[in-house]
Amino acid sequence: MYEKDTITALATPLGKGGIGVVRVSGPLVELVAKEMVGELPKSRVAAYRNFLDAQGTVIDQGLVLYFKAPNSFTGEDVLELQGHGGPVVMNLVVARVLELGARLAKPGEFSERAFLNDKMDLSQAEAIADLIDSASSQAAKSALRSLQGEFSKKVNSIIKGLIELRVYVEASIDFPEEEIDFLDNPKIGEDLDTLVEKIDQLIEQAGQGALLREGVSIVLAGRPNAGKSSLMNCLTGQDTSIVTEIAGTTRDVVNELIHLEGVPVRLIDTAGLRKGNNPVEIEGVRRAEKEIALADYVLVVVDLNAHRLDLTAHIDELLATLPKVENYIVALNKADLWQPEHVSEKQVLVSAKTGKGVDDLRALIAEGIGLRVSSEGTFIARARHLDALQRGIQSLVRGQALFGNNTAGELLAEELRSCQQALGEITGEFTSDDLLGTIFASFCIGK
């Protein structure tokens, strides 16, 4: 037989609101079943159950199916959890399975195991090879997408911090006769704490769990009369905001909660941005700017009709004022009156008046805030990355307990190594030779 660890993954591509299947294969299946649905169901008999998290809270409900080895797809014990909570919820299910000791399957790994365990005949070898090949290049692309922007910057700064720490700790072990006592530096302890904090924050921010609990906030911003309030009403399906043809209608901040793919999204309508001289409007603009600074995302609303001639310049001007460079979507409104030839990424044609394009706008928002999933999509890639961060921080927290105890230098080093191994799954391997190279570049070492 082949590797003995337990793997899990979302087995079906997740569409909007559809059914998602989380598959688990390997020796931990029984444990996963007992922990998450209370018992190991009878083999091949579907049962309707609650899926529980570590605290016993219900994550989702759905069908659970158990296939006893060797009579399963992979030839190992297999558990399938079918839920309908949408991608975020299904991902919480996966996260719970991981917590119980499984690891995320490599692309194509279920099929690979099936093949290696004689569950497929030899003629399928080529097909499996193709599958692994295409699934892993797809996964690589998704991983790249997950790694864009802020997330990547933060991950890289964490890795950099970790390497710096390791350089000190390993140098103190392999070069004890140098004149620098690497571990005597109190900065090391502080750096370790900072690193833990940074990873913690990143997990919190990037975590889909946080998304589910707290939702995201999206501010509608743009020039007066662009149609912000009209779009707000379209998205909420209510007459939340006052709409008139007078530029400068909205003065105060208007709030409404909607649900996108099961995730709470707070929409915030604001005053149109311009330099007015009416004190009420000036105050409205000030509040709008404050909301823009605080929001997770900005939905930039543009009046196509008013900017037929200078559309690109107008959009650039608006984007330049945004605080978070990455987190925006542009709604090209009043598309019923005029349409540009070219619509770029992160832009969508919409008409608040006719309702045309509003579904596209919803989809773009969902994708933009990371709720949309294509087979091995950004979402899963992000889950992989979070899993790695999670394992990394566990090692560091153990390392914190060891720091200051000089006789445990090699144990601290071991925790840092495990952490690097975990984070290496995100950014690529960092070998012991790379580490030695960094040590030699940083210190004058050697006799």
Ligand X SMILES: Nc1nc2c(ncn2[C@@H]2O[C@H](COP(=O)(O)OP(=O)(O)OP(=O)(O)O)[C@@H](O)[C@H]2O)c(=O)[nH]1
Q: Which positions touch other proteins (CB under 8 A)?
A: 2-5, 106-109, 112, 115-116, 122, 125-126, 128-130, 132-133, 136, 170, 172-179, 405-411, 413-414, 417, 429, 431-433, 435-437, 440, 444-447
Bridge partner list, 297: 218
* CA dist., res. 303 & res. 293, Å (int): 22
Residue 96 binds to ligand X (criterion: CB under 6 A): no
Cα Rg of the chain, angstroms: 26
- Among positions 250, 378, 395, 420, the unique one binding ligand X when judged by CB under 6 A: 250
The residue within the footprint of Mg ion, chosen from 25, 233, 250, 351 (CB under 5 A), is 250
Among 256, 283, 336, 367, binds ligand X (CB under 6 A): 336
Query: Would you count residue 111 as binding ligand X (CB under 6 A)?
Result: no
Site string for ligand X, 115-154 (x = CB under 6 A): ----------------------------------------
Do the bridges between strand 254-260 and strand 20-25 make them parallel or antiparallel, or are there none, so unpaired? unpaired
Q: Does residue 229 belong to the site contacting Mg ion (CB under 5 A)?
A: yes
CA 139 to chain centre: 14
The one of Mg ion, other proteins, ligand X, none whose footprint includes residue 363, by CB under 5 to 8 A per kind, is none
SS3 86: helix
Which of Mg ion, other proteins, ligand X, none does residue 431 bind (CB under 5 to 8 Å by kind)?
other proteins
Strands 20-25 and 7-10: antiparallel
User: Could you please report the per-residue DSSP string of 218-272?
Assistant: EEEEESTTSSHHHHHHHHHTS--S---SSTT---S-EEEEEEETTEEEEEEE-PP
Q: Which does 445 bind (CB under 5 to 8 A by kind): ligand X, Mg ion, other proteins, none?
A: other proteins
**Could you give the string, one character per residue 210-249, with x where binding to ligand X holds by CB under 6 A and - elsewhere?**
------------x-xxxxxxx------------xxx-xxx
Determine, following the binding rule CB under 6 A, whether residue 351 of this chain makes contact with ligand X.
yes
Site for ligand X (CB under 6 A): how many residues? 24
At residue 139, what are phi and psi to the nearest 5 degrees?
-65, -35
127: Cα separation from own chain's centroid: 31
Q: Which residue of the chain is nearest ligand X when measured via CB?
A: 272
Who's near 196: CB < 8 A, 6+ residues apart?
A: 393, 396, 397, 400
Residue closer to other proteins, measured from CB, 93 or 104: 104
304 by DSSP, 3-state: which?
Answer: coil
Q: Which residues bind ligand X (CB under 6 A)?
A: 222, 224-230, 243-245, 247-250, 271-272, 333-334, 336-337, 351-353
